[in-house]
C-alpha cells in the first residue's frame, strides 16, 4: 500500500482547520481541540509547517497561527513536501545517482512518469479544495444494448 505518513495526514488536517478560520489567529490548543489531535503533535506539526513557510506564528497573549498565504494558493504538494521532503515514489524518481543500478534500469523512466502524475495531482489540489465537501463518486452508465450483447447464451 502506498500512503503518506500519519504526521503528513495530520498536517493536512491541521492546515485545513486553520484554513477554515481565514480571519483568525488560532492557538495551538484551539487547533488541537478542533482537530482532536494531541497538543504535542499539533505543536510539532506547526513547527514543521512554519519552517516551510505555510503558516505564520504570532507570540503573546493573543498569539497563535494563521496561514501564510490564502488557502487557494497552498497546494497539498507543499504540505506533503513540508513533512516528507521531495515527492517521489522511488529514490531515483526524485534525484539521480541514488541507485547503483540506475544506468541499466529498465523501469526508471516509467517510475518518473508516475512520479510526475502524482506530483501534478497533489499540486492541482489546493488547501481550499480540501475544505470543500467531497464529490460523489462518478457513476458510469452503460447502455443496455451493450449489456444485452455481452450476455452468454
pTM to 2 decimals?
Answer: 0.81
Query: Is the distance from CB of 129 to CB of 78 less than 8 angstroms?
Result: no
| Residue 105, C-beta contacts closer than 8 angstroms, at least 6 positions apart | 92, 99
For residue 152, being part of any structural domain is answered with no
50-62 per-position pLDDT tens digit: 999 999 999 988 8
For residue 26, being part of any structural domain is answered with yes
Cβ count near 119 (within 10 Å)? 20
Cβ count near 93 (within 10 Å)? 22
Which neighbouring-strand residues pair with 57?
A: 65
For residue 24, being part of any structural domain is answered with yes
For residue 138, being part of any structural domain is answered with no
What total number of domains does the chain contain? 1
For residue 145, being part of any structural domain is answered with no
CATH for 80: 1.10.10.10
For residue 56, being part of any structural domain is answered with yes
54-87 per-position pLDDT tens digit: 999 999 888 999 999 999 999 999 999 999 998 8
For residue 121, being part of any structural domain is answered with no
Tell me what pLDDT residue 110 has. Answer: 83
For residue 144, being part of any structural domain is answered with no
Q: Annotate 51-72 with b (16+ C-beta within 10 A) or e (fewer).
A: ebebbeeeeeeeebbbbeeebe
Print the domain residue range for 77. 6-85+126-131
Amino acid at each position: 500500500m502506498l500512503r503518506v505518513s500519519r504526521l503528513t495526514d495530520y498536517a493536512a488536517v491541521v492546515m485545513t482547520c486553520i484554513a477554515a478560520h481565514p480571519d483568525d489567529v488560532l492557538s495551538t490548543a484551539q487547533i488541537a481541540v478542533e482537530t482532536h489531535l494531541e497538543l504535542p503533535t499539533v505543536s510539532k506539526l506547526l513547527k514543521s509547517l512554519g519552517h516551510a513557510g505555510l503558516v505564520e506564528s504570532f507570540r503573546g497573549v493573543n498569539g497563535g497561527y494563521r496561514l501564510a498565504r490564502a488557502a487557494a494558493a497552498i497546494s497539498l504538494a507543499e504540505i506533503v513536501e513540508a513533512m516528507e521532503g521531495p515527492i517521489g515514489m522511488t529514490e531515483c524518481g526524485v534525484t539521480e545517482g541514488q541507485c547503483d543500478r540506475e544506468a541499466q534500469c529498465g523501469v526508471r523512466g516509467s517510475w518518473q512518469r508516475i512520479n510526475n502524475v502524482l506530483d501534478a495531482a497533489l499540486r492541482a489540489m489546493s488547501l481550499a479544495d480540501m475544505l470543500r465537501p467531497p464529490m460523489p463518486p462518478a457513476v458510469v452508465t452503460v447502455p443496455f444494448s451493450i449489456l444485452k450483447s455481452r450476455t452468454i447464451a
